[in-house]
Amino acid sequence: MSAAAQPRHRELGLTDREYELILAGLGREPSDVELAMLSLMWSEHCAYKHSKKLLRRLPTEGPHVLVGPGENAGAVDVGDGLAIAFKVESHNHPSAVEPFQGAATGVGGILRDIFAIGARPIAVLDSLRFGEVADSQRSRYLLEHAVAGIGHYGNSIGVPTVGGEIYFEPSYEQNCLINAMAVGMARHERLTSAAAAGIGNRLILFGALTGRDGIGGASVLASAELGEGDAAKRPTVQIGDPFAEKKLMECSLELLERELLASLQDLGAAGLTSAASEMASKGAVGLDLDISRVPLREADMEPFEIMVSESQERMLCVVEPDRVEAVLAVCEHWDILATVIGEVTAQPVFRILRGEQLLGELPVALLVDDCPLYDLEPQAPSAPLYRGGDQRIATDATPAQALLGLLASANISSRRAVFEQYDPVVQSRTVRRPEQADAAVLALPVLDARSAAGSQPIPAIAISIDGNGRRVAVDPRAGAAEAVYECAANLACTGAQPLGLTNCLNFGNPEKPHVAWQLSEAIDGLAAACRELDVPVVGGNVSLYNESPDGPILPTPVVGMVGRLPDARHAGRLGFAAAGDRIALVGHFNPRRDGSELAKLQGSAPAGALPAKDVAALRETHRLVREGVRSGVLHSAHDIAEGGIAVALAECAIAGGIGARVRLPDGLDLFGEDLGTAFIVTGSEQALAGMTLIGEVGGEALELEGVLNVPLSELAAAHDSGLPALLR
């Protein structure tokens, strides 16, 4: 059947069975505006219809959790009445179409999630995936413009970008991944809900004008594969304005500070439809919304366009009638357009009006809760899904050649050319910025005057974001668990105790058995690792249908974690600190080359087996490192990750600007990987008693006894010759 001959519901992404369920729920045919609204709310992006059942496996409760899944962002208690709100979301498909605005509006959207819950944004991190940038003009174009979009939005709005990660693999060539994480801070009592409440309360839309940008974005771009040959699947990407969002943020926070709002919700995917219906569902109420009152950028917009527009920088709030004038006055002070567009009703029905004309009348439950949830049909693939790439390091390379090749590779080389485009220190909270430590560290407000004078601890948080699609492709369950372990290891290197976790699950088409298997296994791996480390999941995002005609992306669960450390002054660093310090290897390190960076650069496909983990030993190792950093007995700490122990030692030397002389245990693989389990630490010989001493800091080279001796200048040059050279 041609696209022109398809029924309207199929054009909007609804299956025949789903349309039959809609007919049964309504008892009639839906109007055009109703069908458009339902198609968005029943899309994969909004309904999570292929993943919601799986997500129930994740642990969500813990002693520090203040807000769990279901709100705009999760939040954890960090002491002294302070809460940290955080969340990670994707903007993958829009960024593949238009990388600058796709990435920029991804940052804008995740920031609105943070201040919608009542928290002031204090940090952004990003997790990015592209094709092989050295071989592809398209991948370089996507990288350069996505990075520029992230920097433009974060720098303009005044929120520091403090960390992140970038990987390059062939499977992301046509379908890049742009995951943005935002972190905010609030007093406990300022945390707010999106649940609409109070019969007769008014619904106020404030912020930017509503236009046609982004129409269809949720149901089309994020709920179907790219490259299917249908031009209708590439609607316009949202256009962001960070300066408008800055005013919107300050206005929203003032409204909450003055306790003028009953609830607050940002407008993102599906626009007014999603924001209003989800508010009604959470509050078990109904809404009347008059589209004739919605301020428009284009006067000839159709009703369905108004309801599904994804124009940026807009918020929706519920306000008691006697506070409406005060709300409008605050909005006017911030030069923010605000309009009463509806009210809360008792019957749980969402009515769309144009003046006195009724355009749509949908049960809230039908919109939000009644989308069918699908059971996947997972099946492990019978043949490899991913091929090996070009050989960039010879299999007979010497250890020195392999080390320099790894340091110069796109996945390991310095990210300075990227993060220097971001402002990491605006707001003056940043204690550890990129390439200074394994996690970003931000100081919290000092409540004790003695702390301000330097005599008392300065509390802080550490934040990390991690994921490795290549290792998840080798073993989805173990690889996803490794992302949790490595994130926690990064926090341990700064002295932080994990409090909560958010995730973004980036996978291919879940209707295909092999992708369903990857997704199901990965979620089980995440759930197990979170339970093992006592780190609850407080929210997240699922991005499916990340495929091109060449096949699915590598399965890429991304984990963002927040932890607390008692004193920012003792936050850990990764670089060697001083000549004469002893070096120790800590942890049950069991490296393998399967799925490793060296295996990739030698042309191998992601296959084999990942190391088994002794979780009790892993927890104890994390504790030892965390406490050693906090007490100051460890002068530096760095987890052993991509590239293995040789790369970890080189990174410590480069960051500290000083060499080292090391003798490794017999038989230890220089370049094998066992993520999240082991660390390179330094300190005095007495402080490292009981650890496996392997060397001493000092000199102008990294010397691995009997294996290699490479000058520090060569290590640094190689590290700066990969990604930085490509982006100069």
Q: So which residues are the catalytic ones?
A: 45, 91
For the chain, state the CA radius of gyration.
Answer: 26
Cα dihedral: 70, 483, 108, 519 (round 10): -60
Partner residues linked to 634 by β-bridges: 683
**Which class for 4: exposed (0-12), middle (13-18), buried (19 or more C-beta within 10 A)?**
exposed
- Phi/psi for 607 (5° steps) reads -155, 170
Q: Where are the beta strands (DSSP E) in 240-297?
A: 263-266, 286-290
Q: What is the separation, in whole angstroms, between the first and last Cα of the chain?
A: 50
Collapse the DSSP code of 523 into the 3-class scheme (helix H, G, I; strand E, B; otherwise coil) and give the result.
Answer: helix
- Give the number of other Cβ atoms within 10 Å of residue 705's Cβ: 12
Measure Cα distances from 49 to 55, 57, 222, 386 in Å: 11, 15, 13, 27
Closest CA to 523 of 202, 134, 123, 57: 57
DSSP state of 72: S
Say if residues 102 and 95 touch (Cβ distance below 8 Å).
Answer: yes
* The 263-266 sheet, strands edge to edge: 263-266, 314-319, 202-207, 338-345, 286-290, 349-354, 357-363
Say if residues 366 and 277 touch (Cβ distance below 8 Å).
Answer: no
Collapse the DSSP code of 151 into the 3-class scheme (helix H, G, I; strand E, B; otherwise coil) and give the result.
Answer: helix
Would you put residue 152 in left (φ > 0), alpha (ψ -120 to 50) or beta? alpha
Measure Cα distances from 573 to 163, 418, 421, 625, 680 in Å: 14, 21, 22, 12, 11
Closest CA to 114 of 564, 563, 443, 538: 538
User: In the chain, what are the helix, strand and coil shares in percent, each to the nearest 5?
Assistant: 35, 25, 40
Partner residues linked to 71 by β-bridges: 69
Say if residues 406 and 647 touch (Cβ distance below 8 Å).
Answer: yes
- Give the number of other Cβ atoms within 10 Å of residue 323's Cβ: 18
Spatial separation of the C-alpha atoms in residues 522 and 554, rounded to whole Å? 12
Say if residues 93 and 226 touch (Cβ distance below 8 Å).
Answer: yes
Partner residues linked to 287 by β-bridges: 344, 350
Spatial separation of the C-alpha atoms in residues 139 and 128, rounded to whole Å? 12
- Phi/psi for 412 (5° steps) reads -120, -25
Joined together, the tokens standing for residue 8 give 């309207």
Say if residues 568 and 441 touch (Cβ distance below 8 Å).
Answer: yes
Spatial separation of the C-alpha atoms in residues 238 and 101, rounded to whole Å? 7
